[in-house]
Amino acid sequence: MSVPTIAVTGLSYRYPDGTEALRDVDLHIHDGERVALLGPNGAGKTTLVLHMNGIHMPQNGVVAVGGLTLTTATVKEARRRVGIVFQDPDDQLFMPTVEEDVAFGPHNLGLPPAEVAARVERALEAVEVTDLADRPPNHLSFGQKRRVAIAGVLAMEPDILVFDEPTSNLDPASRRELTNVLESLDITMLIVTHDLPFALELCPRSIVIDGGRIVADGDTRALLADERRMRAHRLELPFGYRVADAPATRPS
């Protein structure tokens, strides 16, 4: 078995007010997997994700990225390896042009200008926004902003992309375009989402977290078809949506 891209072992975390957000979480994600992280509001999804690149540091347990254990000494490298794409792209876009935004991270790594330019070109091509390179980000549609935010993370060449609700606020056409882009990327992904049809379409495997614990981990189609489990953890498919009628999940 290969070294996991992400390995979480016995992770627990309590906020300063005493709220226990994570309880003894074990989780492995391997190279090339696309995994959905599902659960009701307040389940611990965001707290778990923020441990993966050191925004939160483990109080108990271990987080490792590609075999590198997360500590205060390794957090900088861990953050390079784990690229987080936040729910609101405006939280990540702040430079005058798309090209400058995507170049910001590689430039701050101290890379030579030619390498920065090459990374920017590859990232823009990967998310199909090369034609937007000279545009100000604030002039873009929400869907375009989201893809530019992804390009900015891709330019850092992480080992895994972590998404927080990537389909939120997208119209159907933008959602379809994003799905196609993500399917085309050759990179490990962890996708936090309440969009269960999106999880089924893109992620062969899903993990359900509730009350700070992992309560299910397995085939997405099988999990979403388990009505009792879904009700127990406040997960609901859109009205009239039938898992049995959905197209086959795209392979990782």
Q: What pLDDT, in 10s, does the model give residues 138-180?
A: 999 999 999 999 999 999 999 999 999 999 999 999 999 999 9
Instruction: State the chain's maximal CA–CA distance in angstroms.
Output: 55
Please report which helix (H) or strand (E) contains residue 216, including its range.
strand 213-219
What's the rounded Cα separation, in Å, for the pair 224 and 213? 18
What is the distance of C-alpha 128 from the center of its chain?
19
DSSP 4: P
CATH homologous superfamily of domain 6-236?
Answer: P-loop containing nucleotide triphosphate hydrolases (3.40.50.300)
Ramachandran class of 203: left when φ > 0, alpha when ψ lies in -120 to 50, beta otherwise: beta
- Which residues partner with 6 through β-bridges? 29, 65
Residue (of 161, 164, 167) closest to 188 by Cα position: 161
Residue pointed to by tokens 């923020």: 50
Which three-class secondary structure state does DSSP give residue 170? coil
pLDDT tens for the 252 residues of the chain, in order: 579 999 999 999 999 999 999 999 999 999 999 999 999 999 999 999 999 989 999 999 999 999 999 999 999 999 999 999 999 999 899 999 999 999 999 999 999 999 999 999 999 999 999 999 999 999 999 999 999 999 999 999 999 999 999 999 999 999 999 999 999 999 999 999 999 999 999 999 999 999 999 999 999 999 999 999 999 999 999 988 989 888 888 788
